[in-house]
Each structure stands twice: as C-alpha cells, then as structure tokens.
Structure 1
C-alpha cells in the first residue's frame, strides 16, 4: 500500500537528514530523527507516513537507477524497520477495537509497506497481528481459523503475484473473514483488485477507514475472470521452464557475446527471462496488457541503467511472440510491449 508525503507534516530538513541516515545505514541516527519529531509533537502516524514511507520509496528508486546496490537497499530497509519499531514503542497505543490480521501474499517479500499499514491501524485502536512476508495461504487460513479476526489486510507489491493473490483472497473468504488489499501490485488505481473482486485501499489511512466500515468491506463485486476460459494463462504457466530455456538459447544464438557471460550474469539473465514470463502470465490472468507493458517499460529502464541495451529485451519479446503465436491474447500483449521497447531503440523486438 502506498503513502504520500503530506506537506508541512515533517520538515524537509528532517526528511533529507533521514535519507542520509539510510544512505549510511546508521540506524541509531535514523531513530533519533524519528524520535526527535515525535518529541517535537509530530504525530506518530505522520512520522510513519511522511518520513519513513517516502524515504523508503526513494530507496527503491535509487536501486532502480543503479545508484544503490542490492546490499545498500537491504541495509536501508533494515534501518527503516528499526525506526518503525521505535516509533511503535514510543507511541505504545492500547487496543480498543477488534483484531486485524495483516500479511504479505505468498511469495511477496516486500514487508515494510504492509508493516506501516499495520502500525497505522494499531495507532487507530485496532488490535493488529502482523504476520510479515510471504505467508502461504494454507497457513494464513489455519491462523484465521484460530482467531476471531474482524478483517485481514493483504499486501502485494508486484503484479506478477496477482494469481496467487486471488487464490489467497478466496481462501480467506471461505472462512468468512472480510478481505482488503493494497500495494502497487494491484495497480496505482486498484484496477486489478476490482478485477479480482477485492476491496482495495490506496494507502494506510484509507485502509483504516475501510476496515472501520464492515458493510463496505463485504460489499464488493464478484471477480471478472471469464477470460480465463481460453486456457492461455494455465497453458503458459505449464510451459514456463520451456519458454525460459528457449529464450536463453535464442539469445545465445543471436547475441553471441552472451555465451561468455559469467555464471552470475547468466543467472541474472535467466531471472529476467522468468520475470518476463511471470508478468505476461499475470497480464493474461487479469486480461490487461498494460500490466505487461508497464513492467517491460520499467525493466528497460533498469537494464539500461546497468548497461544492457534495450534491443536485448526486444529480442526476447520477439522470441516469445513467435513461440506463442497460437496464444492470441499473449501475442497481442507481447506485440504491444515490443512496440514500446522499439520506441526507445529496441528494434530487436521485430
């Protein structure tokens, strides 16, 4: 679930100083910044939403621009987690309302955004159980069976997890626990949450308002997934390994220098080839080509910042398009994404 900076809530100097703490992985200084704001009278909710959340979003952007390594991003995230814990301990709210269970989708490891949502709910009086990253659906359902939960909030940062998200949503509903969802994985406007028939909250305050209205939580339209009858999604998933192997072989043949990649470079390439398949599958699941094109545009930016030219991705999209020519929706989505890559100099898509 995303959060936006509220002007004036946190001084700009404090925000800049906090980013410096993240850059240096200085958790003690970062905690001092947050506690200083609290002692100056800034509400705990605003410290979480106007300091920690936007700073963490900037951390992700710096990684995407190849300005920070994965290690730096992980270190900064750890610091922010420590700050969230310190803010929660300082505020120490007492629960006056029912229990809300907050968890990440199975396979989803971006736990800080839902942790912020959990703490905002706690600050507003809810008794919150935060289950953390990558909670398998059967384990979540088993936990809900033992709890009298008012609702369960599920987070998804990556759209490729949407098929898993849908199964998790349905599993929670079968035990009659209202579900709300959030995170970038459901689209900036929540369009894919609606496609899956789930109540969506764009940010932590909206989530707090939604869980307080049980009728709104339960008043959601059914999922719109009739397109899955064409079996394209299921068939693509079955062929995932074959598709990745074929795309790698195609790259070796058409871009000979890729044969000389180090094991680490080859692993990264295979991972990217798999991401392309997974995001295409998710686009098929919700029948929205923009999901795939948006991912491809983002991947172009990430790869080019690391010295990988756009045509390399264009070649892969072209290969997948040829192999999947009997998959009308997949072929159309690949063609749309290929045109987007070609527009930035990736003619290899053709």
Structure 2
C-alpha cells in the first residue's frame, strides 16, 4: 500500500514571514518607492512565500489597507493613486520572477471590469491567480464596454466570463454585461464589493456564480472544469419587474437638473454655503451627484440597504475629514422635495435619513477592495 503524503504543516514562522513582508511592502508603498516595493516582492518569493500568497495576502492585503487609510483621511487621494500604481508594478515584478514553464491550460476564461469601473487591481489579482492555477486568461482590464466584451467572447469562446466591480453605481451596467454574455451561451461569475454582502445583488441580476475572493473564484472554476454541466437555458422574463414604474429611468435622466436644483435650494437652507469658494461648491456638487447615483442604483436593484449603507459610509468619511455630517440629512430633505412624486425614491430617501439619524460615526471602512 502506498503511504499518503504527509499533510503540510503551518509553522509559526510562516505567518511571521508573511506579516514581515506585508509590512515592508506597506512601508515602500506609503513612501512612494516602487523600486523598494519590487525588491520586497522578490525577497518575499526568495524567502519561500508562494506566488499566490504574495499576490493575495501581501499585495492584496496592502491594497486593502490603502483603502482603509484613505477612508480614515490618513493618506491623500494622490497617495492612494500612487500606492495602487506601485502595487500594479509589484504584480508585474512577481510575474517576471523565475518560474517553471506553464502547464497545458485547464481552459480559457475572460477576466474584466464592468464598463465604468476603474478599480482594476482586484480583477488583475484574480486573473493572475487563475494563471498560476493553469488557466489561459484573457485579462481585459478596467472599464470594458459591453459591446467590446461580447465581441471578444465571440472570438475566443471562453468557458466563463469573470466580471469585477467595486462600485454599486455600476450595477445596471453589470446587469447588461451579464445578460449579454449569457445570451451568447457563456456563463458569468461576478465578484467585488458592488455585488453586496454575500453576493446578494449578483443573484438579483441573474449572474451564474458569485465569488467572495480570488481563491473562491478559482475553486469554483476548478470544480466546474472537473464536473462540467450543460448551461441552463435562461427564460426570457423580466427579472426586475419593479423597474416598470420608470423611477430609475427618470432619476437617471434628470440627474443634472436634480443636482443643480438641490445645490440652489441648499444655498437657501444652509447659509454657510454663501461663503463657499468655487472649489468647495464643486465638491458639494460632486457629493450631491454621488447621492443621486447611489439612489439610482438602489432603485435599480430595489434595495434600501444599498442607499443607507452608502449614506452612513459617507457620514464616516465626512466626519474623518471634519466636515459636518448633518449636511447630508439636509441634502436628502431638499432632494426629497424634488422627488415627492416618486414613491420608491421618496421611501429610499426617508429610510436613508433614518439610518443617518441612528448612525454613530466610526472609522470608515473602504468602499471597495474585494479581491474578486
């Protein structure tokens, strides 16, 4: 009888080594030193950390921390952007490290971001993990227009499309991409913070699968490759019947007017705005536009929690930046007056205001950063 191979042991020093490498990469990233970051990655690989661990637990872990630090106003937007660029460079350095010849591909998949989604690093990490596990991956990057995605799918005939999005405001676009891929017979796996806790919006939008992170995505694909199934024929039915009330469409179409009028009305209700300079007025208009965008997304999926979570997160962001969060409630009230003839939108605004009233500001979590 052949003896079974011994089970791998997790040694305390393995965790210590991982923590050490991650902290050194964080130091390099926050200093804006891409050369040091590359050296950290190479040293981590030379010390025995495997490539998947470096991708997800070192680079991915540092990127999540970048989001947390930005949300808490401990690093600037410029530092956040620079850190993301350096982490992208670290991924490239890992891929350039000495590695064995690639095995015969398990299958071919496409990994991409929803059109309008610029947070591409989570999708990049998924793509590289799948490559490490033997998949041929077509990585299309950020903001892939759905028609271009479908043209690529027709040309390559992948086993699946993996679609990433971090921002819930991209859910309507994600829905269009999911439906288009399925219409040509290709299943869709989705991932990212946009799809909500436990992938609740993934199911609502009809995705074939949802993965909470890169490892889960790889495991799901591997299981499908081992036990292939005939794709279910999707029925041509309206899967979001609440959209028949046209509230989502009307809010999206009237977005510029809603933001402009709310800004005007706020000036009357909030006298301090009279002293705002042009930059402050522009930031206020951007904040109002985000509120309208998230309201539209909540209308699309018919979920008050999506809008309420955005508002409480925004309150934490404002508090971290020493901006009075009560201005949010005033903004909701002014916006609600314009949307008083829209029952679902009015209800979302009321529930959002109630969530803000019950909320106790805390250190904000990042709005994105999921691996898949």
Match status 1:58 vs 2:65: yes
Structure 1 unpaired stretches of 5+: 1-6
What residue number does 2:253 align with? Answer: 238
Change (3 A) 1:140 1:109: same
**Deviation digits for residues 72-97 of structure 1, max 9, x if unmatched?**
00110011001111112224662522
**2:288 aligned to 262, 266, 273, which one?**
273
Shift in Å at residue 221 of structure 1?
A: 7.9
What residue number does 2:43 align with? Answer: 36
Match status 1:146 vs 2:151: no
Structure of higher RCO (CA pairs closer than 8 Å, 6+ residues apart): 2
Match status 1:162 vs 2:171: yes
- Once the two structures are overlaid, the 10-residue window that deviates more, 93-102 or 109-118, is 93-102
Change (3 A) 1:288 1:12: same
Shift in Å at residue 146 of structure 1?
A: 1.6
Query: Quick check: 1:93–1:123 contact (8 Å CA) kept in 2?
Result: no
What residue number does 1:117 align with? Answer: 126
Match status 1:126 vs 2:141: no
Q: TM-score, normalised by structure 1?
A: 0.92
Match status 1:196 vs 2:205: yes
Change (3 A) 1:48 1:189: same
Shift in Å at residue 120 of structure 1?
A: 0.3
Q: SS where residue 110 of structure 2 aligns?
A: strand
Shift in Å at residue 204 of structure 1?
A: 0.4
What residue number does 1:85 align with? Answer: 92
How many residues get paired?
341
Shift in Å at residue 10 of structure 1?
A: 4.9
What residue number does 1:209 align with? Answer: 219
Structure 2 unpaired stretches of 5+: 1-13, 362-372
What residue number does 2:368 align with? Answer: none
Measure, in 2, the Cα distance between the counterparts of 1:43 and 1:180: 26
**2:333 aligned to 296, 299, 318, which one?**
318
**Deviation digits for residues 187-213 of structure 1, max 9, x if unmatched?**
121000000010111110111122231
Query: Quick check: 1:284–1:330 contact (8 Å CA) kept in 2?
Result: yes
Q: TM-score, normalised by structure 2?
A: 0.86
Change (3 A) 1:284 1:87: same
**Deviation digits for residues 236-291 of structure 1, max 9, x if unmatched?**
11221111111111121112222332222222111111111111111111111000
Change (3 A) 1:85 1:92: farther
**Deviation digits for residues 105-144 of structure 1, max 9, x if unmatched?**
0000000010000000000001111111101111111122
**Which stretches of structure 1, 4 residues or more, deviate above 6 A after TM superposition?**
220-223
**1:303 aligned to 318, 327, 330, which one?**
318
- Once the two structures are overlaid, the 10-residue window that deviates more, 103-112 or 246-255, is 246-255
What residue number does 1:4 align with? Answer: none
Measure, in 2, the Cα distance between the counterparts of 1:258 and 1:99: 55
Query: Quick check: 1:93–1:122 contact (8 Å CA) kept in 2?
Result: no
- Once the two structures are overlaid, the 10-residue window that deviates more, 221-230 or 127-136, is 221-230
